């Protein structure tokens, strides 16, 4: 390979540039009608009624909104897997609550249902369920626990965009679903996110909180320019969490090719599984249980290997980028005072390595990565 194989590579076409140009031509770049249009298209894609989705400037913002909208008592305990990105955890603290780290299932690397049940206390009020790499959490068991213990369920869908699991889209099982359109995460808006909720009153409130708590945004004010159109009220503390028109125009064009994006990634994962599965000493990171489902959306392809550091060196020498998603988040200095035991997460994180997987990768690049790994194990 004459170039470095990137770890992530979004699929950007000319129609994306044309779509963004619409907002540039209109010279309305902030929160505006295209944000609403993108929300409506997202609702349609997930078969949701109008008023169930609000676009944000990141999944981190969407997660923070979901926790604020849950109205938990300050200092509540929120269960979260140890194998995740900082956003799943920092937002719990920012909302005034206590993250309690749960171990992952050895196989799926999503929340371990037995450890989840073990870590529920009278102070537990919510669960953040991360569909790690795109592998679905055991949602029927999580929803059952949520009903028994009266817990809010927030699905962190940063790794999946459109998978349907047991007949229900991921993001639509719990009370809230939070998606990411960050450039590495699948279909993209550069930076961006979406919160979906079962209860439309949550979304109405989310649209105020994302716009600094103001009850009418500038687009609504200018499009209802009657007497006193300038008037608005602020009833609660808000944040600057809105999506803007430029990002929404990119989101609209990217959403129209979401099926293509997901299917290219499935094709690459299938190549990896076919070419690497038989190698002794190497195991695929996930079961990829939804891989034959034409709706499914995965974010990561990874492997579990004992000789990880040596393999990383070999990938480096061959100009292949790789990743480590993630070091256990509860081992970060910020959380060192949190008492938790997550032995599976600690063990797996010493073996895992993530490989190039994006809709922008060519078949040739994926096969090159397989060649280098096969040679390493020879």
For ligand PLP, give the closer residue by CB, 31 or 276.
Answer: 31
Q: In 10 A of CB 179, how many CB atoms?
A: 29
Paired residues of 214 in beta bridges:
234
CB of 156 to ligand PLP, least distance (A): 5
Given 31, 55, 158, 366, the residue binding ligand PLP (CB under 6 A): 158
> How long is the chain?
378
Secondary structure letter of residue 356 according to DSSP: -
Given 193, 238, 328, 356, the residue binding ligand PLP (CB under 6 A): 193
* Residues within window 262-321 making contact with ligand PLP, judged by CB under 6 A: none
- Helix%, strand%, coil% for the chain, nearest 5: 40, 15, 45
Would you give the binding string for ligand PLP spanning residues 219-248, x where CB under 6 A is met? ------------------------------
CB of 128 to ligand PLP, least distance (A): 9
* Residues within window 95-134 making contact with ligand PLP, judged by CB under 6 A: 130
Name the segment binding ligand PLP (CB under 6 A); options: 28-36, 55-63, 238-246, 364-372: 55-63
At residue 21, φ and ψ (nearest 5 deg) are -60, -25
Q: In 10 A of CB 36, how many CB atoms?
A: 19
Can residue 352 be called a binding residue for ligand PLP (CB under 6 A)? no
CB of 323 to ligand PLP, least distance (A): 11
Name the segment binding ligand PLP (CB under 6 A); options: 116-124, 177-185, 220-228, 316-324: 177-185
Can residue 92 be called a binding residue for ligand PLP (CB under 6 A)? no
CB of 87 to ligand PLP, least distance (A): 4
For ligand PLP, give the closer residue by CB, 67 or 276.
Answer: 67
135 vs 287: CA distance, rounded Å: 8
CB of 84 to ligand PLP, least distance (A): 5
- In the chain, how long is the greatest CA-to-CA distance? 77
Left if phi > 0, otherwise alpha if psi is -120 to 50, otherwise beta: which for 117?
Answer: alpha
43 vs 318: CA distance, rounded Å: 43
Query: What is the total count of residues that contact ligand PLP (CB under 6 A)?
Result: 15
Can residue 135 be called a binding residue for ligand PLP (CB under 6 A)? no
* Side-chain-side CA neighbours of residue 48 (13 Å): 28
Given 88, 124, 146, 160, the residue binding ligand PLP (CB under 6 A): 88
Q: Decide if 101 contacts 330 (C-beta within 8 A).
A: yes
Name the segment binding ligand PLP (CB under 6 A); options: 10-18, 35-43, 85-93, 213-221: 85-93
At residue 159, φ and ψ (nearest 5 deg) are -105, 10
Can residue 180 be called a binding residue for ligand PLP (CB under 6 A)? yes
Alpha carbon 34 to chain centroid, angstroms: 22
Secondary structure letter of residue 111 according to DSSP: B
Can residue 162 be called a binding residue for ligand PLP (CB under 6 A)? no
237 vs 219: CA distance, rounded Å: 20
For ligand PLP, give the closer residue by CB, 158 or 170.
Answer: 158
Given 76, 84, 108, 296, the residue binding ligand PLP (CB under 6 A): 84
42 three-class SS: helix
CB of 232 to ligand PLP, least distance (A): 28
Q: Decide if 352 contacts 324 (C-beta within 8 A).
A: yes
Can residue 182 be called a binding residue for ligand PLP (CB under 6 A)? yes
For ligand PLP, give the closer residue by CB, 103 or 156.
Answer: 156
Q: In 10 A of CB 328, how many CB atoms?
A: 23
At residue 261, φ and ψ (nearest 5 deg) are -60, -50
Can residue 54 be called a binding residue for ligand PLP (CB under 6 A)? no
- Closest Cα to residue 215, out of 230, 200, 227, 194? 230
Can residue 155 be called a binding residue for ligand PLP (CB under 6 A)? no
131 vs 136: CA distance, rounded Å: 5
CB of 7 to ligand PLP, least distance (A): 13
Contact residues for ligand PLP (CB under 6 A)?
58-60, 84-85, 87-88, 130, 156, 158-159, 180, 182, 185, 193
């Amino acid at each position: 390979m004459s170039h470095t194989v990137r770890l992530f590579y979004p699929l950007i076409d000319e129609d994306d540039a044309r779509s963004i140009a619409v907002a540039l031509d209109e010279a309305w770049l902030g929160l505006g009608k295209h944000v609403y249009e993108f929300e409506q298209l997202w609702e349609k894609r997930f078969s949701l009624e109008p008023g169930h989705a609000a676009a944000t400037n990141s999944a981190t913002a969407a997660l923070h909104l979901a926790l604020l909208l849950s109205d938990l008592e300050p200092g509540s305990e929120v269960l979260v897997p140890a194998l995740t990105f900082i956003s799943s955890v920092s937002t719990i603290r920012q909302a005034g609550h206590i993250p309690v780290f749960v171990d992952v299932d050895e196989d799926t690397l999503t929340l371990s249902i037995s450890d989840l049940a073990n870590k529920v206390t009278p102070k537990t009020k919510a669960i953040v369920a991360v569909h790690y790499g795109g592998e679905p959490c055991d949602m029927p068991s999580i929803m059952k626990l949520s009903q028994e213990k009266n817990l809010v369920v927030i699905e962190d869908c940063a790794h999946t965009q459109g998978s349907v699991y047991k007949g229900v889209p991921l993001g639509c099982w719990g009370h809230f679903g939070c998606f990411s359109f960050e450039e590495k995460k699948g279909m993209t808006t550069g930076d961006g996110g979406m919160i979906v909720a079962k209860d439309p009153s949550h979304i109405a409130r989310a649209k105020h909180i994302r716009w600094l708590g103001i009850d009418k945004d500038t687009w609504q004010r200018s499009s209802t320019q009657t007497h006193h159109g300038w008037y608005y009220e602020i009833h609660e503390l808000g944040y600057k969490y809105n999506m803007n028109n430029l990002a929404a125009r990119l989101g609209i064009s990217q959403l129209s090719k979401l099926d293509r994006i997901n299917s290219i990634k499935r094709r690459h994962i299938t190549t990896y599984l076919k070419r690497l599965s038989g190698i002794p000493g190497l195991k695929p990171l996930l079961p990829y249980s939804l891989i034959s489902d034409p709706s499914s959306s995965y974010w990561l392809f990874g492997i579990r290997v004992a000789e990880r550091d040596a393999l990383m060196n070999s990938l480096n020498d061959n100009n292949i980028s790789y990743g480590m998603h993630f070091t256990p988040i509860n081992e970060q200095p910020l959380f060192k005072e949190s008492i938790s035991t997550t032995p599976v997460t600690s063990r797996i994180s010493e073996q895992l390595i993530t490989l190039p997987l994006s809709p922008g990768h060519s078949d040739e690049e994926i096969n090159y990565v397989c060649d280098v790994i096969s040679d390493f194990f020879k």
